[in-house]
Each structure stands twice: as structure tokens, then as C-alpha cells.
């Protein structure tokens, strides 16, 4: 018996038969799917199974697009940030001016309220500059004798006394501040009415309350107002607050330091009080009946 080796390739059915079978099967499946939707579930299962492979295949493309978008967005944000900073820098001077104008408006409104509360007539003024003498504390305002300003008139702002007019020109005046070494102002403690005199010339623009007995009833934090006994300053205007008290049994007087309530280092607008008091408001008079005409008299 002769031995024949098995064939290397098992050819099976003929290729034409296979082609015809698979073409017919494909046409049958297409018809069934088009008419009865039999392959919908199979399609869903195949799509679900193929989705992870699709994501893996698309991962490099997505990563590339994500990186490109990130760098493009970062560059756009940097440009926008630089543009906004430049815009802010350009608008900064205007914003600062608006803020200054707002503060000046508020100061003028407070001065108007102080003018209405004051029993004396007053004139608005603006500080032009500080005096050139380095050993004195004086400022120059933009109102002079042409505006009715006279030497000796007190100068205040919305919170208290600033100083006194000491020299008058035609269009400007010189105001000596309370902290000047040659200034003195009579005061009284608002809490108990205790009278005293404050002098300028202390360090740092402070005031000294001199010749107060060591056992005087005065405390740190007390508010002192004008007493009005000098005839220059109207009574009741805030002047200073007690900041430090030093009592020593070896001395008859206490050393008391005051901080001025008002000051020219904050705002430039002030009020110059005159010596004339405001006229009292006119009382409302009942309305008078108009006189009767001749025709009305005849009809009566």
C-alpha cells in the first residue's frame, strides 16, 4: 500500500461557491435589516465593543488637538491680560482724579453742612500753599480783603478749628495754624466744662495744655472745645483731644498733650468765619387778604 502525505492546504469548496454563498448571505442580511431591523441589536453590540478601540486609536489625535488648544488659549490669555493691564495703566490717572474729585465733593458737602450749622456768616476758601517760613506753621488761602476777610477771623473745616487769619492782602490771606508756637486758644473740657488754654509749638504739630493743676479732672481721650471767652472763636467748636497726661508730684502742674481735631494736611477747603452773626430766620406771617375793589364793594 502506497503512503501519500496529506495535502499541505485544504482547499475546501471552490472559490466561486464561497463567493456566491457570502454574497447571497450579505444580500439576505441587508434585506432583513432594511425590512425588519433584525441586525439593530447586533450593530449596537458591535459598536459598543469597538468603542474602546476607537478611543485608543483617536487618543493621539485628541492629545495633539488638546495640546494645541491649550497653548493657543494660553497665548490668547497672555495677550488679553497684557492688553487689560495697558488699559488699566492708561485709565489709572483718570481714576485717581475721579477719586480725588469725589473726596473733594464730600469735603465740600461737609463744609456746607458746617456752614449751615454755624451761627456766624462764613466764606469758602481754598488753601493755596504753605508759608515759606520753616519755623512757623502758616498757610495762604485764596480769599482776601476783596472778599471781606479781616485779620483775627477764625478758620475752620468740617471737623474743627484750624487757626486764625493773621495777615490779609487784597486777593489772599495768611492763616496761622493752632500748632504754631505763637498761637494760644482758650478751651474747655466738653465732659465737665473745665477751662484751660492750649498753646502751639509742641513736637509733631501737637498742642500743650499748660498751667493745669496736677489733680485737675482731665482724662486721656477728653474732647476740648472753644470756650468763647476770648471773643474770637465762637464757643463749642471742636479743637483737640487729650492724648497724653504726665503727672509728677514734684511739679504743681501736669504736662498734657493734645492732638488737633482738624488739620490742613487732609483737605484744602476751609471756612473763614466772620464776626457777624446770621440774622434769625423770618417768622412766617399769615397771608393777607387782597384789598377789595370798588366793584366788590358795590356788590356788597
Q: Locate the DSSP E strands across 104-160.
A: 120-130, 138-141, 154-156
pLDDT beyond 80 at 190: yes
- Dmax (CA) of the chain: 170
Supply the range of the domain harboring residue 185.
121-277
pLDDT beyond 80 at 70: yes
pLDDT at 174: 94
Please check whether residue 1 lies inside any domain of the structure. no
Please check whether residue 283 lies inside any domain of the structure. no
> What is the distance between the alpha carbons of residues 19 and 179, in angstroms, rounded to a whole number?
115
pLDDT beyond 70 at 262: yes
pLDDT at 291: 57
| Burial grade of 238 (CB within 10 A; 0-12, 13-18, 19 or more) | middle
pLDDT at 169: 93
Q: Which residues on adjacent β-strands are paired with residue 86? A: none
Of 117, 148, 167, which residue is a domain's last? 117
Considering only CA atoms, which of 275, 30, 6, 57 is closest in space to residue 149?
Answer: 275
Cell of 186: 482758650
> What is the distance between the alpha carbons of residues 141 and 269, in angstroms, rounded to a whole number?
9
Total domains in the fold of the chain:
2
Please check whether residue 298 lies inside any domain of the structure. no
Least confident of 63-72, 145-154, 177-186: 63-72
Report how far Cα 183 is from the mean position of its chain's Cα atoms: 36
Please check whether residue 47 lies inside any domain of the structure. yes
pLDDT at 119: 73
| Burial grade of 98 (CB within 10 A; 0-12, 13-18, 19 or more) | exposed
Please check whether residue 272 lies inside any domain of the structure. yes
pLDDT at 10: 59
| Average pLDDT, integer, range 76-98 | 78
Contact 150, 124 (CB under 8 A): no
Please check whether residue 5 lies inside any domain of the structure. no
Cell of 99: 477719586
Considering only CA atoms, which of 247, 181, 185 is closest in space to residue 212?
Answer: 247
The CA-based dihedral angle spanning residues 82, 86, 88, 91, taken in that order and rounded to the nearest 10 degrees: -170
SS3 content of the chain, % helix, strand, coil (to 5): 35, 25, 35
Residue, of 101 and 188, whose pLDDT is higher: 188
pLDDT digits (tens, 9 = 90+) for 272-297: 998 877 776 654 445 555 555 555 55
pLDDT beyond 90 at 63: no
pLDDT beyond 60 at 2: no
pLDDT at 186: 93
pLDDT beyond 60 at 15: yes
Please check whether residue 189 lies inside any domain of the structure. yes
Please check whether residue 229 lies inside any domain of the structure. yes
In terms of domains, do 135 and 178 share one? yes
Q: Domain with 253 in it: what CATH number?
A: 2.40.10.340
In terms of domains, do 194 and 62 share one? no
For 112, other C-beta atoms within 10 Å of its C-beta total: 13
pLDDT at 7: 57
pLDDT digits (tens, 9 = 90+) for 167-189: 999 999 999 999 998 899 999 99
Of 117, 138, 167, which residue is a domain's last? 117
Report how far Cα 290 is from the mean position of its chain's Cα atoms: 57
Cell of 29: 442580511
In terms of domains, do 150 and 269 share one? yes
pLDDT beyond 80 at 160: yes
> What is the distance between the alpha carbons of residues 300 and 294, in angstroms, rounded to a whole number?
10
Of 94, 117, 140, which residue is a domain's last? 117
| Average pLDDT, integer, range 92-99 | 69
Residues 6+ away with beta carbon under 8 Å from 29: 38, 39
Amino acid at each position: 500500500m502506497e503512503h501519500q502525505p496529506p495535502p499541505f492546504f485544504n482547499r475546501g469548496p471552490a472559490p466561486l461557491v464561497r463567493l456566491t454563498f457570502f454574497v447571497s448571505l450579505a444580500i439576505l442580511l441587508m434585506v432583513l435589516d432594511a425590512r425588519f431591523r433584525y441586525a439593530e441589536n447586533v450593530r449596537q453590540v458591535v459598536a459598543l465593543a469597538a468603542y474602546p478601540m476607537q478611543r485608543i486609536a483617536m487618543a493621539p489625535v485628541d492629545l495633539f488637538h488638546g495640546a494645541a488648544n491649550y497653548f493657543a488659549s494660553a497665548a490668547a490669555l497672555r495677550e488679553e491680560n497684557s492688553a487689560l493691564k495697558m488699559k488699566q495703566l492708561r485709565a489709572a490717572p483718570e481714576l485717581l482724579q475721579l477719586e480725588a474729585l469725589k473726596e473733594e465733593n464730600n469735603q465740600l458737602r461737609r463744609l456746607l453742612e458746617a456752614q449751615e450749622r454755624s451761627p456766624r456768616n462764613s466764606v469758602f476758601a481754598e488753601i493755596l500753599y504753605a508759608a515759606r517760613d520753616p519755623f512757623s506753621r502758616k498757610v495762604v488761602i485764596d480769599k482776601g480783603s476783596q472778599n471781606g476777610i479781616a485779620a483775627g477771623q477764625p478758620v475752620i473745616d468740617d471737623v474743627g478749628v484750624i487757626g486764625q487769619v493773621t495777615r490779609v492782602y487784597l486777593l489772599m490771606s495768611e492763616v496761622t495754624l493752632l500748632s504754631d508756637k505763637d498761637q494760644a486758644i482758650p478751651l474747655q473740657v466738653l465732659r465737665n466744662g473745665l477751662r484751660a488754654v492750649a498753646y502751639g509749638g509742641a513736637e509733631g504739630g501737637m498742642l500743650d495744655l499748660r498751667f493745669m493743676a496736677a489733680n485737675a479732672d482731665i482724662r486721656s481721650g477728653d474732647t476740648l472745645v472753644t470756650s468763647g471767652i476770648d471773643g474770637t472763636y465762637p464757643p463749642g467748636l471742636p479743637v483737640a483731644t487729650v492724648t497724653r497726661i504726665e503727672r509728677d508730684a514734684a511739679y504743681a502742674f501736669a504736662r498734657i498733650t493734645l492732638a488737633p481735631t482738624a488739620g490742613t494736611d487732609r483737605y484744602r477747603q476751609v471756612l473763614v468765619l466772620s464776626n457777624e452773626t446770621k440774622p434769625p430766620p423770618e417768622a412766617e406771617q399769615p397771608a393777607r387778604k387782597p384789598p377789595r375793589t370798588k366793584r366788590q364793594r358795590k356788590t356788597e
